[in-house]
Amino acid sequence: MIAARNGRPGRARLAALGAYVPERVVTNADMERHVDTSDEWIVTRTGIRERRYAAPEQATSDLAVLAAEDVLRNAGIDAAEIDVVIVPTCTPDHLFPSVSATTAHRVGARNAAAFDLQAACSGFIYGLAQATALVESGIARNVLVVGAEVFSKILDMSDRGTCILFGDAAAGALVTSGDPEATAGFLGFELGADGSQAMDICIPVGGTRIPASQPFAPDQAFLKMNGREVYKFATRVMEESIVRLLDRLELSIADVDLLVAHQANQRIIDHAVKRLGIDESRVFNNLERYGNTSAASIPLALTEARDAGALRPGALVLLVGFGAGLTWASCIVRYEPE
């Protein structure tokens, strides 16, 4: 429960991870059946080989609940101990109510406040920043952050420039209050937004600018993207954000044990890796199996990195993302789950 500040706040700690991906696998060969594309084009230009799609009856909160339960299981914590549930998402079940309130209710987090966070693919890192602030101000002790997206239901399946890129998933983390003197935890964040490019990724219809009550062309209710402009933005801000964050923390890229970047396009990640000079053995990607799962992509990659042994206790981890807004975010965390 969110309460008044009480005693000496602890230091925010990344205590556990968890994920859920829907069962249905959609390959590039499946994509070839409904748009003029090829496995070869998709793999060379994006690195994606397949993605997951939610079942027709599954909405975003259905994925978020399963991911949240996985985080709670891994954390060994009772849902009633959660103070806040944050769901970063840009594909909510409804404009409102929030996915987070539904998720909190369904996992039994009956003492939790809940809110959604709209920073698109940067949302998970924005959510970690919120969780850190809540914990380190003494307002909350246990904050669950679950990025959850069902992109398959907002894609124009006749637009080859977008439909091949995105997939559905949910994944998240538990941020808890740890030893105030500990060196583990969140070392710093660098968050930003540039609304001048707002319409470069958007869904034109369905909000208050063009309400669904007005006549509209059917394709306007789907995701629209100016891929080239977003690509240019991403390659610029990922590097700039990381350099600013490392400088502020007086760290160098050589101090980083693991880089997990937003899984949008392998070429964008490779560009950042090359520019920063980080060894590829210290970079974890799973884009080829899931495509871009927006707010779920970084926690999903982190969870799989943990399972693959690439994310080890004590590791200094660098996270970086970018997305609609346009937004960007980076974060450095010392991973000490125990």
Residues contacting residue 211 through CB under 8 Å, at least 6 positions apart: 205
Give the shortest CB-147-to-ligand UT7 separation in angstroms: 12
Q: Are 22 and 153 in contact (CB under 8 A)?
A: no
Contact region with ligand UT7 (CB under 6 A), list: 76-84, 225-233, 269-277, 283-291 = 225-233
User: Which residues carry out catalysis?
Assistant: 121, 262, 292
Nearer to ligand UT7 among residue 177 and residue 293 (C-beta): 293
Residue 228 found at the interface with ligand UT7 (CB under 6 A): yes
When the beta carbons of 37 and 220 are compared against ligand UT7, the nearer one is 37
Nearer to ligand UT7, 244 or 271 (CB): 271
Q: Based on the shown chain and the rule CB under 6 A, indicate whether residue 231 belongs to the binding site for ligand UT7.
A: yes
Phi then psi dihedrals of residue 149, to 5 deg: -145, 140
What is the C-alpha separation between 168 and 179, in angstroms, rounded?
Answer: 36
User: Of these, 142, 292, 293, 303, which contacts ligand UT7 (CB under 6 A)?
Assistant: 292
- Give the residue among 322, 271, 48 at the shortest CA–CA distance from 165: 48
Q: Of 164, 173, 245, 302, which lies in the binding site for ligand UT7, with binding defined by CB under 6 A?
A: 164
- Any contact of residue 100 with ligand UT7 (CB under 6 A)? no
The set of long-range contacts for 214-222, using a CB threshold of 8 Å and a minimum separation of 24, is 219/156, 219/158, 219/159, 221/154, 222/154, 222/155, 222/156, 222/159
Q: Which residues contact 245 (CB under 8 A, 6 or more apart)?
A: 188, 189, 190, 330, 331, 332
Which residue's CB is nearer to ligand UT7, number 51 or number 334? 51
Of 68-76, 141-149, 158-166, 273-281: span binding ligand UT7 (CB under 6 A): 158-166
Closest CA relative to residue 251, chosen from 233, 270, 276: 276
Angle at 95 (CA atoms; ends 94, 96), nearest 5 degrees: 80
**Whether 14 contacts 186, CB under 8 Å:** yes
Applying CB under 6 A, the span of 159-167, 168-176, 240-248, 327-335 interacting with ligand UT7 comes to: 159-167
Residue ranges in 256-275 that form contacts with ligand UT7 under rule CB under 6 A: 264-265
Please report, as ranges, the residues that interact with ligand UT7 according to CB under 6 A.
37, 41-42, 45-46, 121, 160-161, 164, 201, 225, 227-228, 230-231, 234, 264-265, 292, 323
